Amino acid sequence: MTRRYARRTLRSAASAAVGLLAAAVSIGIAQLAAAFTGPLGLPVIAVGTAAINLTPVRLKDFAVQHFGTDDKLVLLSGIVVVLALLAAVTGLLAMRRRAYGFAGIAVFGGIGLAGVLTTPGAGPADSLPTLIGAAAGALALTLLVRALVSQRSAAAHDGEPAAGPAAATAGRVTASALRPAEAGTARLARRGFLLAAAGTAAVAAAGGGLGELLLRRFSVSAARAEVALPRPAIVGPATPAGAQLPVPGISRFITPNASFYRVDTALLVPQLPPDQWRLRVHGMVDRELDLSFEDLLRRPLTEADMTIACVSNQVGGPYVGNARWLGASLASLLRDAGIRRGADQVLSTASDGWTCGTPVETVMDGRNALVAVGMNGQPLPIEHGFPARMLVPGLYGYVSATKWLVDIELTTFAAQRSYWVQRGYSAQAPIKTESRIDVPRPLQQIKAGRTAVAGVAWAPHRGIGRVQVRADSGAWNDAKLAAVPGIDTWRQWVWEWDAAPGLHQLEVRATDESGAMQPATRVPIFPNGATGWDSVAVTVT
């Protein structure tokens, strides 16, 4: 009974392996084909993008909160796991009837095709990798099923008792009773299946690996490295000497590009060659504009320090950063187009179809709203919107900071809703007054005595006027504020605490220059940003 169960398990595992190998070939060959048609044809990425667009808001918030910038990796890993399970089932079904296996591959292909065809910017040619991959998977399935059936038939035949009185008397197959020719046939069949499986795996790996190498030719890293940013017509103010407090562990006043947060819906970072990039300005305007990257660089550029924050940032969270940006004035661009009466929304669109709605009144009120091309003295990093992105100080990113910008339409909030507004987020979303404790870290053990409690506070375009800290729900104490070059950046702060031994809770709150104090009550990020006091628990020894 045990031996029979083991054989059945082995047969099921081999059948599942047939489905997995066929799926691997399909994906590998599709990736190789996409290296010739373009990355928009990658079926797994297309399915993942569609999954992001269909994901409920609360699930998206959960993913960002728990997985952070790894949320896309988690999504892709989940898709691969689901595909693997379905592929294994397809292999099991194919061993019953080959048509079932073909049906499973057709379902895979249909899902991939639907994902590709609903990807913004994808054309008919982008469907070819999915079709070619499905055909390769079907071929691999056919070959593997034949090899496995032959192996099982030979094994079954090999296990039959030889004719003769001795075999009949024994009632079982003995080594002397096996027909040598049939045993050899079984070994050859088993070897044939293993060779077919190994060959199929090699094809899948080679196709995927070669496709990955060839897809690198679509990267715009080399083109970005050749961009020479002009000197700004309006130079940003010098960073005050006291902007960076000498406190180990505090956030740097200027966030380095490499550690600047990234939250967006792009599974595959758009690769836009600057010599092919265009920005269209249209809608409720007197005259449409169509700008090249060179046109944008020839406009007077402004240099400005600006803190931006994601609406997904929890109280005390990491999705906020400060940088020195370089870009063309968005207000000047809209004036050149001529804003028609009644237009109250600037609807900006990324190359991947993501949209963002910004109030016209906010863009035109004199703040440094930019079509940015530079970040901290360099061309925009590709992950942060190269060759151009939009930035409006004082507003959360989902209503102001379109990366990979290709289209600006003057419209109304009543007529069109942007990506996250369609999913229930507020159309108007000024960044709330917030503060964060950077040091000491949560649950850190520190020595008794004079201890620096420090961090950052932000209220872009209002400025931070006061930060207060307290321990164990006691009296509030004013923190020392660092210097800042303007009201659009975050502000460092520090409070010297006489720490006594024991377990303590530290809390911080900020007040902006308008007099609005950070509220104590914590509310979730939906629908327009989280609020509440940041706090950390520490042990003093």
Instruction: Find tokens 């600047």 and name the residue.
Output: 260
Instruction: Find tokens 């609005």 and name the residue.
Output: 516
What is the rounded CA–CA span in Å between residue 383 and residue 258? 10
pLDDT of residue 210: 96
| Sheet strands (E) in 334-485 | 345-350, 355-359, 370-375, 378-379, 389-391, 405-411, 434-439, 445-446, 449-458, 464-471, 477-478, 480-481
pLDDT of residue 156: 60
Residues facing 281 on adjacent strands: 289, 408
H or E element, residue 18: helix 2-37
Concatenate the DSSP letters of all residues of 158-222 into one string: HTSPPSSHHHHHH-S--TTTS-HHHHHHHHHHHHHHHHHHHHHHHHHHHHHHHHHHHHGGG--HH
Q: What residue segments make up the domains of the chain, in order of their start?
A: 2-218, 241-411, 434-540
3-state secondary structure of 131: helix
pLDDT of residue 9: 85
Instruction: Find tokens 């373009």 and name the residue.
Output: 38
Residues whose CB is less than 8 angstroms from the CB of residue 365 and which lie 6 or more positions away in sequence, other chains included: none
The residue among 505, 508, 461, 513 whose CA lies nearest residue 487 is 461
**Taking the CA of residue 22 as centre, how many other CA atoms within 13 Å lie in the half-sphere pointing to its CB?**
36
Evaluate whether 263 touches 319 at the Cβ level (below 8 Å): yes
Residues whose CB is less than 8 angstroms from the CB of residue 541 and which lie 6 or more positions away in sequence, other chains included: 445, 446, 447, 448, 501
Per the omega criterion (within 30 degrees of 0), is the bond before 387 cis?
Answer: yes
3-state secondary structure of 407: strand
Task: Locate 64 and state its tokens.
Answer: 């960002």
Evaluate whether 19 touches 108 at the Cβ level (below 8 Å): no
532 torsion bin: left (phi>0), alpha (psi -120 to 50), beta (else): left
pLDDT of residue 154: 65
One pLDDT digit (tens) per residue for the chain, 541 residues? 577 777 788 888 999 999 999 999 999 999 999 999 999 899 888 888 877 777 777 776 777 666 766 777 787 788 888 889 999 999 999 988 889 999 999 988 998 888 898 888 888 999 999 999 999 999 999 999 988 888 777 666 555 443 333 333 333 334 344 455 455 555 666 788 889 899 999 999 999 999 999 999 999 999 999 999 999 999 999 999 999 999 999 999 999 999 999 999 888 899 999 999 999 999 999 999 999 999 999 999 999 999 999 999 999 999 999 999 999 999 999 999 999 999 999 999 999 999 999 999 999 999 999 999 999 999 999 999 999 999 999 999 999 999 999 999 999 999 999 999 999 999 999 999 999 999 999 999 999 999 999 999 999 999 999 999 999 999 999 999 999 999 999 999 999 999 999 999 999 999 999 999 999 999 999 999 999 999 999 999 9
Neighbours of 371 (CB within 10 A): 24
What is the rounded CA–CA span in Å between residue 27 and residue 137? 8
Evaluate whether 421 touches 505 at the Cβ level (below 8 Å): no
The residue among 283, 281, 252, 254 whose CA lies nearest residue 413 is 283
CA distances from 14 to 100, 148, 149, 475 (A): 17, 8, 11, 69
3-state secondary structure of 41: helix
Residues facing 379 on adjacent strands: 374
The class level of CATH for 434-540 reads: mainly beta
3-state secondary structure of 401: coil
The residue among 423, 446, 443 whose CA lies nearest residue 528 is 423
The residue among 242, 260, 244 whose CA lies nearest residue 252 is 244
User: Structure pTM?
Assistant: 0.85
The residue among 369, 272, 281, 324 whose CA lies nearest residue 485 is 324
CA distances from 270 to 283, 340, 356, 417 (A): 25, 32, 17, 23
At CB < 8 A and 24+ separation, what contacts does 74-78 make? 75/48, 75/51, 75/267, 76/44, 76/48, 76/267
pLDDT of residue 237: 94
Evaluate whether 303 touches 521 at the Cβ level (below 8 Å): no
pLDDT of residue 65: 66
What is the rounded CA–CA span in Å between residue 58 and residue 375? 32
The residue among 398, 393, 406, 404 whose CA lies nearest residue 527 is 398
| CATH H-level superfamily of 241-411 | Oxidoreductase, molybdopterin-binding domain (3.90.420.10)
- Rg (the chain; Cα; Å): 31
pLDDT of residue 184: 55
